[in-house]
Amino acid sequence: AQSVAQPEDQVNVAEGNPLTVKCTYSVSGNPYLFWYVQYPNRGLQFLLKYITGDNLVKGSYGFEAEFNKSQTSFHLKKPSALVSDSALYFCAVRDIAGSARQLTFGSGTQLTVLP
């Protein structure tokens, strides 16, 4: 069975500081990895994905994530946080060899950027 862990329910960071939202995963084969963001009363918006290739993936709004196979991690990062980045962030994983349904989400991390 595959799983995703987001160990922090809440992350607070000052505006202008770098931010990291952590994610670790478990799959039996090779993973597809995703980050989504959810603003209040909205649906999930796709940020970035790792399929194969370069371990550093760049996505929307200046976010990036680093795939680390040995640590089974896919942490979301941004060099300089904005107040508008405050939202709920979800990591998700799918086994490349899996069926259409096998997209598993983490429990989410609430990011608050303080002005």
Where does this chain bind other proteins (CB under 8 A)?
Answer: 4, 9, 32, 34, 36, 41-46, 49, 51, 90, 94, 99-101, 103, 105-108
Query: In 10 A of CB 74, how many CB atoms?
Result: 27
The phi and psi torsions of 60 (rounded to 5 degrees) equal -75, 155
Task: Give the nearest distance from C-beta 32 to other proteins in angstroms.
Answer: 5
Task: Give the nearest distance from C-beta 80 to other proteins in angstroms.
Answer: 25
Give the integer Cα–Cα distance in Å for 65 and 22. 10
Give the integer Cα–Cα distance in Å for 14 and 114. 5
Single-letter code of the amino acid located at 114:
L
Q: Please, which residue, 14 or 97, has the CB nearer to other proteins?
A: 97
- Under a CB-based contact definition with an 8 Å cutoff, are residues 90 and 82 in contact? no
Task: Give the nearest distance from C-beta 73 to other proteins in angstroms.
Answer: 17
Q: Please, which residue, 17 or 39, has the CB nearer to other proteins?
A: 39
Q: Please, which residue, 43 or 115, has the CB nearer to other proteins?
A: 43
